[in-house]
Amino acid sequence: MRDLVQRIDSATPAGRDRTIDALRALAILGVVLGHWLVTALVVDSGTVHGASPLRHMPQLAPVSWVFQTLAVFFLVGGQTAAHGYAAARGRGETYRRWLGARMARLFRPVAAVLVVWSVVAAVMLASGAGVETVRTLAMLVLSPLWFLLVFAVLTAVTPLVARLHPLWALAVVLHVDLVRFGLGGPAWLGWINVLAGWLVPYCLGVSWARGGLRERRTGWALLAGGAATTAGLVLWGGYPAAMVGVPGAGISNLNPPTLAAVCFGLAQCGAALLVRDRLRRVLRRPAVWAAVALLNLSAMTVFLWHQTAMMAVTAVGLLAGRPLPGLHTAPDGVGWVLARLGWLPVFAGALLVCWAAFRTYEQGRRASRGGSRVVREQRSVPVTMGRG
């Protein structure tokens, strides 16, 4: 292991900005832990249905502020896409070839998920499982894939985004919410924000790649302005405090994105920019950098299979013959939260099994033992994310 760590560190180009990879890794961990903490599968009369502790314990809303890291994903995604496209043009590579390579890396692992879950759903239905149970499980796997479509569209228009100021996208989000909530407009207008809302941090990432956002005062302005605006919208604007979707809630900040979620994302982007210097110092440690590089190498695998890992543990837990606290019980109290924390290492172990089984679909072929291969593959890892 020590040799692998040293090879990865020595193979990393001296000019590489490791903080980009670290921010992506932190965002991945935020998505995974966030889903594991706010998603419950409750067994009731032989049927499995989804539930959220945020519905029963709204005082836990600050948890969503920590683990809802979607804006950081799009910030890093915009930065890496713009940087990659500029490098491709410098090599004389066509836009079509550049985009095709990124799309292949983004969608190739999805095929494995769809095939596996098509078989699983068919077997469950054939064995007598209820349609509602199968639907609940399938939605947990498939609903996060909305990100891939949004990210693919934004990646495709990266050359155009370079000419767009983030304030234009923010203005669209503002006017959509004004019409929806202030003027009683149709709810479907909110879906415009699926692209416009995440275009805001993506534009910031593109600007970052082009040499912007370098001054710390920019980070402080985004953090302070975004946080203050979000607080005002929650306290006086009627927006929910939770920055993820809560079953049964009248308004979701994430499905589709609201102005509050986008402003919260601006604060996250500001915080990400401010921690770069500290991250840069930490990432000088070879072991830390190796962990970040390896996680980025399997970013899509971790994202696509973390919900499956949780469901696999939940299914195996049914063999106990009784509902297990934090796994099959309703998330309606502190006891559930404490029990769920105890299950996190088990979920992580199941995810490790999924990673071992399906990582080759992301990498294309097995990574060699040498650190140079790891770093070379890791350079082009597309950013990934999940739903809230």
The answer to whether the CB of 201 falls within 8 A of the CB of 269 is yes
* Residue 212: predicted pLDDT: 84
CA distance 352 to 280: 27
Q: Which of 32-41, 82-91, 346-355, 356-365 is predicted least confidently?
A: 356-365
CA distance 323 to 261: 35
CA distance 154 to 169: 12
> Which is more confident, 384 or 159?
159
CA neighbor of 216 nearest in space, from 282, 281, 272, 280: 272
Burial group, residue 77, by CB count within 10 angstroms (0-12, 13-18, 19+): buried
The answer to whether the CB of 195 falls within 8 A of the CB of 262 is no
> Which is more confident, 371 or 335?
335
Burial group, residue 302, by CB count within 10 angstroms (0-12, 13-18, 19+): buried
CA distance 21 to 27: 10
The answer to whether the CB of 54 falls within 8 A of the CB of 388 is no
- Model confidence band, residue 387 (pLDDT cutoffs 50, 70, 90): very low
| Residue 377 clears pLDDT 60, i.e. is over it | no
Structure-token pair, residue 123: 């077997």
CA neighbor of 288 nearest in space, from 25, 15, 11: 25
CA distance 239 to 178: 12
Average pLDDT, the chain: 87
Share of the chain above pLDDT 90, in %: 55
Phi, psi (5° rounding) for residue 50? -85, 150
> Which is more confident, 69 or 3?
69
